[in-house]
Amino acid sequence: MTCLQDHTDKCKGTVEYRESLSGTGVEIARCENHWGEALERDEQIRLRYPRNAPSDFDPSYAGESWE
């Protein structure tokens, strides 16, 4: 089994099937290094775009909605 990102030459550690962070349920083969990078990237995305709207979010501004 090879890491999904094997082409980057930055693979380190054991390659295992790991859960998809997007919630699709698909398991993806990643090495320990790329799994760590994926977790960090996912955390940054979730901090930037939280599940619930911030208290100052105004849906009338620019016609946007949080959902």
Task: Tell me 36's DSSP state.
Answer: H
Predicted TM-score (pTM) of the model is 0.75
User: Around Cβ 3, how many Cβ atoms within 10 Å?
Assistant: 22
Going by C-alpha positions, the residue among 41, 42, 35, 25 that lies closest to residue 4 is 35
Q: Is residue 37 part of a domain?
A: yes
Task: Look at residue 34 in the predicted model and tell me its pLDDT.
Answer: 96
Structural domain contains residue 31:
yes
Check residue 9 and give its pLDDT: 87
Structurally, how many domains does the chain consist of?
Answer: 1
Q: Is 8 left (phi over 0), alpha (psi -120 to 50) or beta?
A: alpha
Domain extent for 36? 1-49
Per-residue pLDDT in tens (0 to 9) along the chain, 67 residues: 999 999 988 999 999 999 999 889 999 999 999 999 999 999 999 998 888 888 888 888 878 877 7
Q: Give the pLDDT confidence score for residue 52 in this predicted structure.
A: 85
Return the closest-CA partner of residue 35 out of 21, 56, 51.
21
Within a domain: 7: yes
